[in-house]
């Protein structure tokens, strides 16, 4: 039998933490190993009780955006937020978060998010997927070559340049050249935006892995 997914919760609202624990308690495949109510308590919690996934409230005693990069080296992070702002979600992904769960839909979507992130993929609520896709709609009018589409598909699934090169039997330098051309052609800044583009045009599904950095 597989070991349960170890989960830690960092949220400054005791009632919300209790609600999350109640949802998780119904699932034999997960185990809550600890909780924190202040940002400064999170690292000691993770040192004391290592976990696979950290459910992290965006706004605790202070905003945690700047802490995501450090914390993501210790656990996969699912950000909990009441804010449906697209830029905020993209920033969290760039900093190293693996998922975003909107608080008002947490009961319905939490376990889907946990299973998805535990499997090495990225979870985004449908509302944010739609909004992000609409912001990238203009890029869908740009035509990519077959080779460029292959590279986008593999990069969006989380492969490094060397891994992409191996899959396509080309040099890593050629992959870099193609990526530079793709970013310029689509007016995209990084791999997160490239992945959102790939989802938008159907090169990968929304449940497939997104890049970790």
High-pLDDT (> 70) share of the chain, %: 89
pLDDT score for 133:
60
* Domain endpoint, select from 94, 123, 152: 123
pLDDT interval class at 198 (50, 70, 90):
confident
Q: Does residue 99 or residue 207 have the better pLDDT?
A: 99
pLDDT score for 76:
94
Same domain, 141 and 113: no
pLDDT interval class at 208 (50, 70, 90):
very low
Please give, one letter per residue, the 3-state secondary structure of the chain: CCCCEEEEEECCCHHHHHHHHHHHHCCCCEEEEEEECCHHHHHHHHHHCCCCEEEEECECCCECHHHHHHHCCCCEEEEEECCCCHHHHHHHHHHCCCEEEEHHHHHHHHHHHHHHHHCCCCECCHHHHHHHHHHCHHHHHCCCCHHHHHHHHHHHCCCCHHHHHHHHCCCHHHHHHHHHHHHHHHCCCCHHHHHHHHHHCCCCCCCCCCCCC
pLDDT score for 93:
82
Same domain, 72 and 117: yes
Q: Residue 56 domain-assigned? A: yes
Q: State the virtual CA torsion across 160, 164, 170, 172 in degrees, nearest 10.
A: -10
pLDDT score for 170:
94
* Distance, CA of 200 to CA of 132 (rounded, Å): 8
* Domain endpoint, select from 123, 150, 169: 123
On the question of pLDDT at 193 being above 50, the answer is yes
CATH number at 152 reads 1.10.10.10
pLDDT score for 212:
44
Measuring CA to CA, which residue among 67, 68, 139 is closest to residue 99? Answer: 68
Same domain, 17 and 88: yes
Mean pLDDT of 35-42: 94
CATH number at 41 reads 3.40.50.2300
pLDDT interval class at 211 (50, 70, 90):
very low
Task: Kindly report, residue by residue over 124-169, the tens digit of the pLDDT.
Answer: 877 777 666 665 555 555 678 889 989 998 998 888 999 999 999 9
Q: Residue 210 domain-assigned? A: no
Domain count, the chain: 2
Range of the domain at 112: 5-123
Same domain, 99 and 166: no
Same domain, 79 and 141: no
Q: Residue 205 domain-assigned? A: no
pLDDT score for 141:
57
Q: Residue 206 domain-assigned? A: no
Same domain, 153 and 54: no
Task: Kindly report, residue by residue over 153-162, the tens digit of the pLDDT.
Answer: 899 888 899 9
Q: Rounded mean pLDDT of the chain?
A: 85
Task: Kindly report, residue by residue over 46-85, the tens digit of the pLDDT.
Answer: 999 999 999 999 989 898 988 998 999 999 999 999 887 7
């Amino acid at each position: 039998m597989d070991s349960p997914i170890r989960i830690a919760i960092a949220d400054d609202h005791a009632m919300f933490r209790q609600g999350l624990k109640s949802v998780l308690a119904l699932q034999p495949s997960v185990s809550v190993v600890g909780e924190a109510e202040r940002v400064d308590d999170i690292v000691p919690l993770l040192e004391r009780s290592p976990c696979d996934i950290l459910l992290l409230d965006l706004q605790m005693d202070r905003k945690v955006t700047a802490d995501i990069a450090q914390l993501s080296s210790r656990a996969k992070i699912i950000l909990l937020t009441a804010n449906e702002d697209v830029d905020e979600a993209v920033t969290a992904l760039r900093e190293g978060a693996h998922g975003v769960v909107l608080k008002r839909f947490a009961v319905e979507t939490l376990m889907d998010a946990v299973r998805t992130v535990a499997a090495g993929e990225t979870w985004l609520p449908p509302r944010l997927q739609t909004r992000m896709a609409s912001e990238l709609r203009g890029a869908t009018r740009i035509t990519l070559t077959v080779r460029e589409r292959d590279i986008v598909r593999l990069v969006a699934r989380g492969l490094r340049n060397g891994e992409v090169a191996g899959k396509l039997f080309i040099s890593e330098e050629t992959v870099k050249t193609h990526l530079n051309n793709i970013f310029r052609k689509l007016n995209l800044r990084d791999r997160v935006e490239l992945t959102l583009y790939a989802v938008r045009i159907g090169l990968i599904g929304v449940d497939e892995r997104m890049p970790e950095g």
